[in-house]
Amino acid sequence: MSDVSQPAAHPPVTDWVNDFDHTDPQWTDDPFPIWEELRATSPVVHTERFLGCYMPTTYEAVREIANDTEHFSSRRIIVRDVRPEVARNAAPPITSDPPVHKPAKQLLLPPFTPDAMKKLEPRMRAICNELIDGFIADGKVDAAARYSKYIPVQAIAHMLGIPESDSDLFINWIHMILELGIKDETKLLQAVQEMSAYFRTHIEARRSKPTDDLISYLMNAKDKEGQPLEESHVLGSLRLLLIAGIDTTWSAIGSSLWHLARTPADRERLIAEPALIPTAVEELLRAYSPVTMAREVVKETTVSGCPVKAGNMVLLSFPAANRDPKMFPDADKVVIDRRENRHAAFGLGIHRCVGSNLARMEMQVALEEWLKRIPDFRLDPAGTVTWSQGTVRGPRQLPFLLGRAM
Amino acid sequence: MTERLRVRVDPDKCQGHARCKALAPELFELDEYGNAHEAGDGIVPPGLEDKAWLARSNCPEIAIDVIEE
């Protein structure tokens, strides 16, 4: 069942400033020097690839675009090789523009407040410890494949009321949509159809046997006129919660563990001062922000003085913004006790990530439980760290040796 | 003469990142959607000044004012 295929390759990039490609292996492995080069050239760069695509390189330019819903539409949120017609209710509210965005967003916000997340925390601690139980005696582990991957998928499955045992199915769909789908339309469509069919079965089951999970919550939700949501809206939001809930936080937890494996001083400090973990999580989110969203230019305008033309996509790189030295002193250093940290890892403006409180809680719990039980770990020199491609960046293979080095 | 501080959240700018509530729970409250507003009249009790500035400097939407009165 599992589709472990790799996305197709584009011609390699030789001119990053005028011909960038966020799916190039060089970018996937180490994007940070590339962003620096682009930022040094212009606040907004352009490539002819992906049918024409801009990328803001500074925090200011990213903020400008994120707050400008008149010239930039969210109907397309992934930069891809093709641009077919988009379905209405693709994944509301992330694919919605004003004025329909706000009611769709408000519907999803109450189940994701910090207080709601506190209630979920004990279950998250149990999930983390069950996962650690599965490998701690082995002395080595792929921390991406056996730890960071399963924390968010089990959390969102728990909230949606779908079986945690279907996790590998969900992870495969996400891979097909967010990575393979950039270059292969059929993979994306197949995953969307399979997800919709899956959720339809669960919706049907709840008609006779209502539950208190997010599927029932959306089925029972009413719009402003007091009418139930259209089925396409319910399905779109369910797909969004599953897509957005998985490899984003998988990536954030994985990158954090990757950093701590390579930085014993930070690891030792967090073990000695666990109260610093929430602050460190913010810094790890800034330094290794997983998510790059996209917008479509729908009206010609300028961004930080640079003209942008309608019909092009925009790679709205929150990760690059978070490395802007004008915004963050020592932007390329991880400073785990950084006090002033206005990072944009969860987006800016109306599309702020609905699940940000969930992601923060998962990251804190995942690091706390790991450090409590596995204070010593390092990268396995015999293994290879690999990174995902495209929309969400995080380690997909993270080979660790556990315990004190011999 | 000691200055008194007051915090204020701009409801049009707040997008519910909830950083202020996490960093200064005494000074901010969240509504049912997770959007923030100042607790009570927003006056910062003595000893919490640092938290007020911290909340301000960590709001991604620049939605928090700290007013020196």
State the best of B33, B37, B59 to mutate against chain A, taking most chain A CBs within 10 Å: B33
Tokens of A392: 């969400």
Assess B25–A contact: CB distance below 8 Å, yes or no. Answer: no
Residue A67 has pLDDT above 50, yes or no: yes
Do residue B18 and residue A356 have CB atoms under 8 angstroms apart?
Answer: yes
pLDDT the model gives residue A86: 84
Predicted confidence (pLDDT) at residue A215 exceeds the cutoff of 90: yes
Using the Cβ of A275 and the Cβ atoms of chain B, whether some distance falls under 8 Å is answered with no
pLDDT band for position B2 (cuts 50, 70, 90): low
Cα–Cα distance, A7 to A390 (Å, whole number) = 10
Residue A397 confidence class, pLDDT cut points 50, 70, 90: very high
pTM of the model: 0.96
Q: What is the DSSP string of A327-363?
A: TSTTTTS--TT-S-----TT-SGGG--TTHHHHHHHH
Q: Do B60 and A114 touch (CB under 8 A)?
A: no
Report pLDDT digits (tens) over A139-157.
999 999 999 999 999 999 9
Q: Write the residue in B17, B22, B30 that is nearest to A352 by C-beta.
A: B17
Please check the confidence at residue A224 and state whether its pLDDT lies above 50. yes
Q: Dihedrals φ, ψ of A401, to 5°?
A: -100, 135
Record: contact B32-A115, CB cut-off 8 A: no
pLDDT at A166 over 70: yes
Mind listing the pLDDT tens digit for each residue in B19-68? 999 999 999 999 999 999 999 999 999 999 999 999 999 999 999 999 99
Cβ atoms of B6 and B67 closer than 8 Å: yes
Structure tokens at A345: 């890892």
Q: Does A326 touch chain B (CB under 8 A)?
A: no
Q: Give chain A positions within 8 Å (CB) of B62.
A: 342
Which residues are CB-neighbours of A316 under 8 A, at least 6 positions away? A56, A62, A65, A66, A292, A293, A294, A295
Please provide the DSSP assignment of A113-150 as one string. Answer: SHHHHHHHHHHHHHHHHHHHHTTGGGSEEEHIIIIITH
Q: What is the pLDDT of residue A2?
A: 42
Q: Which two tokens stand for residue A88?
A: 């209405």
B60 CB within 8 Å of a chain A CB: yes
The total of other beta-carbon atoms located within 10 Å of residue A232's CB is 14
Q: In whole angstroms, what is the distance from residue A334 CA to residue A269 CA?
A: 13
Other Cβ atoms within 10 Å of B12 Cβ, number: 7
Residue A400 DSSP symbol: E
Of all residues in chain A, the percent with pLDDT exceeding 70 is 99
Predicted confidence at residue B19, as pLDDT, reads 98
- For residues A76 and A52, the answer to whether their CB atoms sit within 8 Å is no
Give, in degrees to the nearest 5, the angle at Cα A113 between A109 and A119. 130
On the question of a cis peptide bond just before residue A99, with omega within 30 degrees of 0, the verdict is: yes
User: Which residues of chain A does B54 touch, with a Cβ-Cβ cutoff of 8 Å?
Assistant: 339
pLDDT at A88 over 90: no
Among partner residues B18, B54, B61, which is closest to A348 by beta-carbon distance? Answer: B61
Which pLDDT tens digit goes with each residue over A324-369?
999 999 999 999 999 999 999 999 999 999 999 999 999 999 999 9
Inform me whether the C-beta atom of residue B16 falls under 8 Å from chain A C-beta atoms: yes
Domains and their CATH numbers in chain A: 25-402 (1.10.630.10)
Phi, psi of A344 (to 5 degrees): -115, 30
Q: Which residues of A touch B51 (CB under 8 A)?
A: none
Contacts of B48 (CB under 8 A, 6+ apart): B24, B26, B27
Which residues of chain B are within 8 Å of residue A327 when distances are taken between CB atoms?
Answer: none
Average pLDDT over every residue of A226-237: 93
Q: How far is B61 from chain A (nearest CA, A)?
A: 7
Average pLDDT of chain A to the nearest whole number: 95
Q: Does A282 touch chain B (CB under 8 A)?
A: yes
What confidence category does residue A1 fall into, taking pLDDT thresholds of 50, 70 and 90? very low
A55-80: average pLDDT: 97
Of B15, B18, B62, the CB nearest to A114: B18
Q: Which domains does chain B have, with CATH numbers?
A: 5-68 (3.30.70.20)
SS (H, E, C) chain B: CCCCEEEEECCCCCCCCCHHHHHCCCCEEECCCCCEEECCCCECCCCCHHHHHHHHHHCCCCCEEEEEC
The strand pair at A395-397 and A386-387 is best described as antiparallel
State whether A114 and B62 contact (CB < 8 Å). Answer: no
pLDDT of A87: 82
pLDDT at A327: 98
* Mean pLDDT of the region A226-239: 93
CA of A144, closest CA in chain B: separation in Å? 27
> Is A329 near chain B, with CB under 8 Å?
no
Task: Identify the burial level of A98 via C-beta atoms within 10 angstroms of its C-beta, where 0-12 means exposed, 13-18 middle and 19 or more buried.
Answer: exposed
Q: Which two tokens stand for residue A12?
A: 């390699």
ipTM: 0.97
Which candidate from A342, A346, A352 shows the least CB-CB separation from B58?
A342
Q: Which two tokens stand for residue B3?
A: 């200055």
- The answer to whether the Cβ–Cβ distance between A113 and B15 falls below 8 Å is no
3-state secondary structure (DSSP) of residue A45: strand
- Residue A276's region, left for phi above 0, alpha for psi from -120 to 50, else beta, is alpha
The tokens for A130 are 């069950």
pLDDT computed for residue A405 by the predictor: 64
A304 close to A279: Cβ distance less than 8 angstroms: no
Q: Rounded to whole angstroms, how far apart are CA atoms A77 and A377?
A: 37
Residue B40's CB is within 10 A of a number of other CB atoms, namely: 9
Q: Which residue has the tokens 């959720």?
A: A199
**pLDDT tens digits along A249-301:** 999 999 999 999 999 999 999 999 999 999 999 999 999 999 999 999 999 99
